Structures are given as C-alpha cells and as structure tokens.
C-alpha cells in the first residue's frame, strides 16, 4: 500500500488543486500545459534543485538493477508515449525517474491521428488513446537528446510511418535506428501499437524475426552496440506468446517490454455511452494491470530467468511495482498512473521500496 501522505505533501496539492484544474482541460491540451509548466519551473534559477528536492528520492543501493548491460539506480522508469519527441527529458529526470523512454519515434515527422485522440476514464483510472505515432521525426528527437543535461538513461522507442506499407516497414525501423543510435542507451522495437493500421501484423513470427535480425546486424556495424528490446501487445494468444519467446531466443534479442495498450474493453466501470464517445484506441491504466502481470509471468516461465523484462500496465504505487517484480519483471514503467497520481508518484514509490530494502 502507498505511504500515508501529509496534507502538505506536494502530491496532495496535485490531487486537490492541480489535477482538478488540468482535468478540466481536454486531455492532450492538459498534457502539454502540465509539461510546459514543469519545463518552465526547471528553467528558472534554482528550479532544478527545487524540483529534485520536492519530487526526487534517493533510492537505497539495494534497489539498483543491472539489465541488458546498463545499471539503473532503481526500477521505475517512464514509458514511451509520454515524451514522444524528447522535449522534456531533463525536467522529467528531475522528478526521479530511473530511465525515460522517448517515442514512439518514426523516421519522418507525422501529425498522427485526428483530434480528439486522448480520453480519460476516471472511474477506471485509465486512458484511451489513438495518438497514431504523432512525432517530429527521428532527427528532431536526436537533436534534442544531444542537448540534454541530465545523465538519465534514455530508451528509444521506434516505429514505422503510417504511410509506409508493411513490406517496407524494415526500412523505417532501420532509418530511425541509425539516427537515434548515438544518442540513446537502448532501443525498443514497437510493433504492438493498435493505432497504426496493420502494425500489429508485424508481430507475426516471420516478419518479426526478419526485422529483429536486421536490426541486430545493423547494431553490429557500429563501434558500440545498443541493447534491443521488443514491446508486445497484451492481446496476444498463448500460442503467439510462445512464438515471441522462441524468436527472442532465436534472434538473441536483449529483452521484452510487457505490455503495450489493449484493444479490450472488458470489465470497465465506465458507461457504454462514455466508451462509445471515446471510440477506438488503446486502453491503458488500471484495467491493464492484471493482464500485464499474467503475460510477464508467462513469458518469464517460457524465457527463463536471464532475459530482462520491463513491466508496464496499471502501476500507481509501490505495491503495484512489487506485483510486476514478483511476476518476473526486472524494471517497470509508468504512464497513466503518473497522470492520475502526479509528480510525487515516483519519489513515493522509491521511498517505500527503499524502506523495505534497508
């Protein structure tokens, strides 16, 4: 369970004041407003230290995680989708994230799906999005990362442009890989978003094996290699998960991210009228938590103890992190829970995990 919070704690101000104000705005507008406000606070004299003092906790040494050749100070990172273009890496790092995954980044800039494309389901502590890989392109993201000041670990989540047919998807992944290779610490191959038409077909064994083998070959052409991970959907069958486990071993891919958003709407508290108004898209947050845990547990059994797994889905407090770790994850990522819980979320989780490790 989460730590008991003082009424003077920063997260209480978020819950009682900031979040209600932001939730009066359209979700995508609120996202940019909140992040621009955080970035402005980070830029003012003394702002960096103030943010770290308010929202960052020193993790216990026992929380450090070694995975795919990198050392993480604690297991909690930020999932892809939150900072698609690496616009806010430094301010977000000041909130205490162990690592930040940017993207999904495509080779060319693209506007994404028509707005509105992001929807809140407060009754379910969830979001529905059909953003459609809106981003400024790989070159723009790389330039921002060259200017970052923090030493936070950066993941590069890469995908294909919407107008690129699947038989040429490999070219897009390779192009984004080449541009981001010098400025990220690891890669995540995203073939599991439900919001790019046909993308999930690339999860089939033959095209996915070819794609991963090609990226590993490109990786070996550099004087230094980057870990390559695969992000999978929560809607895969047991047979498909078996295929994933087999091809991970066959291609010697460095890890898994479990999971992306789901197209399922099962068990939601939100009304059918609300869901119809939201329309299509990927569901994230609390309703995904149990399914993500099940997939992590299944793939841990199938892949053995050595393969690093990043667990994603429904995390709001330290108890949820422990669930993912107990299921077999080495690291975790947050997104939807961060929106609902606010900027003190990571420090609260780290403090509670540290308390049990000292």
Where is 332: in which H helix or E strand? strand 331-334
- DSSP class of 204: S
User: Is 193 a known active-site residue?
Assistant: yes
Q: What backbone phi and psi angles, to 5 degrees, belong to 114?
A: -60, 150
CA distance 12 to 43: 24
Q: Evaluate whether 356 touches 349 at the Cβ level (below 8 Å).
A: no
Q: Is 82 in a helix, a strand, or coil?
A: coil
Q: What is the Cα 73 distance to its own chain's centre?
A: 17
- How many Cβ atoms are within 10 Å of 308's Cβ, its own excluded? 21
Count Cβ atoms within 10 A of the Cβ of residue 265 and give its class: 0-12 exposed, 13-18 middle, 19 or more buried: middle
| Residues present in the chain in total | 358
φ and ψ at residue 256, rounded to 5 degrees: -125, 150
Greatest pairwise CA separation for the chain in angstroms = 56
45: helix, coil or strand?
A: coil
| Residue tagged 């103890």 (tokens) | 305
Query: Which residues are bridge partners to 44 per DSSP?
Result: none
Both tokens of residue 27?
A: 């979700």
CA distance 74 to 65: 6
- Which among 98, 113, 192, 193 is annotated as catalytic? 193
**270: Cβ–Cβ under 8 A, 6 or more apart, which residues?**
121, 123, 124, 126
As annotated, the active-site residues are 193
């Amino acid at each position: 369970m989460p730590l008991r919070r003082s009424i003077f704690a920063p997260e209480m101000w978020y819950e009682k004041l900031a979040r209600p104000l932001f939730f009066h705005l359209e979700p995508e507008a609120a996202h940019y407003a909140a992040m621009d406000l955080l970035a402005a606070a980070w830029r003012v004299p003394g702002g960096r230290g103030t943010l770290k003092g308010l929202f960052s906790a020193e993790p216990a040494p026992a929380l450090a995680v070694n995975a795919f050749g990198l050392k993480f100070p604690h297991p909690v990172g930020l999932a892809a989708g939150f900072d698609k273009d690496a616009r806010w890496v430094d301010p977000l790092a000041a909130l205490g994230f162990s690592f930040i995954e940017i993207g999904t980044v495509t080779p060319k800039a693209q506007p994404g799906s028509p707005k509105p494309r992001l929807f809140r389901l407060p009754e379910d502590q969830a979001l529905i999005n059909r953003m459609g890989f809106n981003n400024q392109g790989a070159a723009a993201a790389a330039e921002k990362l060259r200017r970052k000041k923090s030493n936070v670990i950066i993941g590069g989540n890469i995908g294909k442009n919407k107008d690129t047919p699947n038989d040429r998807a490999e070219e897009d992944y390779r192009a984004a890989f080449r541009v981001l290779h010098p400025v990220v610490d690891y890669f995540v191959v995203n073939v599991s978003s439900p919001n790019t038409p046909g993308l999930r077909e690339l999860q089939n064994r033959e095209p996915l094996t070819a794609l991963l083998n090609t990226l590993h070959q490109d990786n070996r052409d550099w004087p230094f290699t980057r870990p390559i991970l695969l992000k999978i959907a929560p809607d895969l069958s047991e047979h498909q998960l078996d295929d994933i486990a087999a091809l991970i071993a066959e291609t010697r891919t460095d890890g898994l991210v479990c999971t992306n958003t789901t197209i399922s709407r099962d068990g939601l508290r939100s009304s059918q009228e609300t869901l119809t108004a939201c329309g299509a898209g990927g569901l994230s947050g609390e309703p995904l938590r149990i399914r993500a845990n099940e997939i992590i547990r299944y793939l841990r059994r199938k892949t053995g103890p050595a393969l690093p797994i990043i667990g994603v889905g429904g995390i709001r407090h330290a108890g949820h992190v422990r669930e993912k770790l107990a299921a077999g994850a080495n690291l975790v990522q947050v997104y939807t829970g961060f929106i609902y819980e606010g900027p003190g979320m990571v420090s609260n989780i780290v403090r509670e995990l540290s308390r049990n490790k000292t």
